[in-house]
Amino acid sequence: YLYILLLYMPDHKDDPAAVEILLPWSSFIKEHCTGLIDVETITPENKPQLPL
Whether 28 is in a domain gets the answer yes
DSSP 18: H
Q: Decide if 42 is inside a domain.
A: no
Domain of residue 10, residue span: 2-32
51 phi and psi angles, rounded to 5 deg: -80, 80
pTM above 0.85, yes or no: no
Tell me, what's the pLDDT at 52? 85
User: C-alpha dihedral over 27, 29, 35, 41, to 10 degrees?
Assistant: 120
Is residue 49 in some structural domain?
no
In a domain, 52, yes or no: no
CA 1/CA 7 separation, integer angstroms: 10
Write the single-letter amino acid at 43.
T
The per-residue pLDDT for range 5-47, each reduced to its tens digit, is 999 999 998 999 999 999 999 999 999 888 888 888 999 999 9
pLDDT for position 38? 87
Q: Say how many domains are in the chain.
A: 1
Residue 38 lies inside a defined structural domain of this protein: no
Does some domain include residue 37? no
Task: Quote the distance between the C-alpha of residue 23 and its chain's center.
Answer: 9
